[in-house]
Structure 1
Amino acid sequence: MTRRIIIVTAVHAPSAHFLADAYKSLCAQELPAGWEWHWLIQEDGTTDQVAPHVPDDERITFKQGRAGGPGVARTIALANADGEYVKILDADDQLAPGALARDLAALEADRSIGWATSRVLDLLPDGSTAGFPGDPDPGAIGLQEVLDYWAAHDYRAQVHPATLFVRRDLLVALGGWMALPASEDTGLLLALNATSRGWFSSEVGLLYRKWEGQMTGQAAHVDTAERAARMTVVEARARALGSLRWRYPGAADGTAPGAAAGTR
């Protein structure tokens, strides 16, 4: 029986032309026997400017919907997520070789691991790449470890939410992405970390494109008042989830028997 990894991509008109590069990186992924991917591309809106850029492939489902931001687009795409795992891939980013197989191996090896992330390289306009310091040690990430680091480092996590690979049932249980104008993926990352152990791969898993139309590069994204409000509600959600002490199966004490090598 074939098992599926669901790739979820939110897209709007300005970033649609990057879908070809994302598709190329997805097609280059090699999965273990018995596994396949299904790419859900959800337009954040109902224009006629995205569909021409969607690759012609039976493994791709393209949908449109009312504009509400990338978090809304990704969450509504889950209606068609017919697999055990969900991998995030923004329209303007690219998967690095082997990313899906590494994420899958980590979660298949240890049921107490609910999600995985990986190292990121910025993909610059001239085609060059750049890394940055601060990655955690490779291996398992304990409950609230990302949350505590984030709160102590000016709301900057040591792992990147754009690389998330997560169990579908856990993602749905947490309600998908937060209803925020930005930082919705950070909100999801911290909610995941409040309820389950994670995994970090030190091998590059994503090329994170830097370009002038990038949403995180817009002035509104760094507006002081809005940023403070976003961070407040993101942290409040994560802390509340932690205080309720609901844990993903196998992660109740953070040291479940049979944990994968590298657990700390």
Structure 2
Amino acid sequence: MGAAVSRRIVIVTAVHAPSAPFLPEAYRSLCEQELPDGWEWRWLIQEDGRTDAVAPHVPDDERVTFRQGRPGGPGVARTIALAHADGEYIKILDADDRLTPGALARDLAVLEGDRSLGWTTSRVLDFLPDGSTVGFPGDPDNGPIEREAVLDHWKANGFLAQVHPATLFVRRDLLLALGGWMALPASEDTGLLLALNSVSRGWFSEQVGLLYRKWEGQATGQATHVDPAERDARMAVAEARARALASFRWGYPTD
């Protein structure tokens, strides 16, 4: 008898030179994860560009794969990484963030336990430069998130979603059906979250699943990220995509 084939969670990380030094911390948070028997994780690290600055920070572990490609932003890097994602589930992990112990097992238990759910999110704490953490007010209740609930909240609250796209854990086939991340210079993960919520129910875990690092070099802290004209355009196209998907009445699960 051959050895049992493990089922797999694929962690997808986009990285560029400024965030590369944080990869070892992200790796340690992955190594702290405990999964049920028969499950394993693999980590796909995709550099947004081709430099010599990232590879020295990539862990030497057979479970970790590092690739490079022409620059196009984090959404492009994550989407191209899907070509090598051979697991049933995809977990997003930004290069400068850290998972909390138990995060993967909690995500997995939710989707394995309810086939009507397409994705999960979890509570987030900002991880500040001094090592302290800060939570967010207004988290939803622990439990299912109905279709279009995130979209409606986001629209009514100044384009702020009540759940964080950096915590997404999603069925691979559903992610591929939506084309991966949006082709936007920023907010590509919010666009994906809104699209997922338009076609499938999700889940929010009240337990902290991610430490979201705040530091001066992060992309969301740059002036270009809040340029009013570009931001309005990003929000408009993300909403239009989500509304169109909802109007087609296609959804997960397909039956």
Normalised by the size of structure 2, how large is the TM-score?
A: 0.98
Q: Hey, what's the Cα distance between the residues in 2 that align with 1:189 and 1:83?
A: 20
Q: 2:223 — aligned with what? A: 219
Q: 1:87 aligns with which of 91, 94, 113?
A: 91
Partner Cα distance (1:95, 1:246) in 2 = 32
Aligned AA (1:154): G
Q: CA deviation at 1:132?
A: 1.3
Match of 1:184 among 167, 181, 188: 188
Which residue number in structure 2 is paired with residue 242 of structure 1?
A: 246
How far, CA to CA, are the matches of 2:15 and 2:40 in structure 1? 22
For 1:63 and 1:43, how far apart are their aligned partners in 2?
Answer: 6
Number of positions where the alignment pairs a residue of Structure 1 with one of Structure 2: 251
Detail structure 1 runs of 4+ shifted over 3 Å in the superposition.
none
State the shift of 1:141 in Å: 0.4
1:64 deviates by 0.2
Aligned to 1:10: 14
Question: What is the aligned partner in structure 2 of residue 156 from structure 1?
Answer: 160
SS of structure 1 residue aligned to 2:95: coil
The letter of the residue matching 2:153 is: Y
Please give the secondary structure, in 2, of the residue aligned with 1:36.
strand
d(CA) in 1 for partners of 2:125, 2:178: 28
Q: Secondary structure at the match of 1:4?
A: strand
Partner Cα separation in structure 1 for residue 137 and residue 101 of structure 2: 21
CA offset digits 1:202-221 (Å, max 9, x no partner): 00000000000010000000
Structure 2 residue aligned with 1:64? 68
Deviation readout 1:1-52 (Å, 9 max, x if unpaired): 3100000000000000000000000000000000000000000000011000
The DSSP-based 3-state class of the residue aligned with 1:104 is helix
Query: What RMSD, in angstroms, separates the aligned Cα atoms of the two structures?
Result: 0.7
Residue identity in the other structure for 2:154: W
Pair 1:39 & 2:43 matched: yes
Residue 175 of structure 1 aligns to which amino acid in structure 2?
A: G
- CA–CA distance in structure 2, aligned partners of residues 132 and 52 of structure 1: 34
Displacement after TM superposition at 1:189 (Å): 0.1
Q: Distance in 2 between matches of 1:103 and 1:229?
A: 32
Is residue 26 of structure 2 the alignment partner of residue 22 of structure 1? yes
Q: Does 1:201 align with 2:208?
A: no
> Matched residue of 1:63: which SS?
strand
2:112 aligned counterpart, secondary structure: helix
Shift of 1:154: 0.3
Instruction: Give the percent of matched residue pairs that are identical in Structure 1 and Structure 2.
Output: 79
Aligned partners of 1:131 and 1:47: how far apart in 2? 35
SS of alignment partner, residue 147 of structure 1: helix
Partner of 2:132: 128
Cross-structure match for 1:173: 177
Deviations 1:195-237 (A, max 9, x none): 0000000000000000000100000000011000000000000
Task: Give the match for residue 255 of structure 1.
Answer: none
Q: How far apart are 1:249 and its partner, in Å? A: 1.2
Give structure 2 stretches of 5+ with no counterpart: none
Tell me the secondary structure at the aligned position of residue 156 of structure 1. coil
Aligned residue number for residue 261 of structure 1: none
* Cα shift readout 1:152-200 (whole Å, capped 9, x = no counterpart): 0000000000000000000000000000000000000000000000000
* Corresponding residue of 1:112: 116
Name the counterpart of 1:259: none
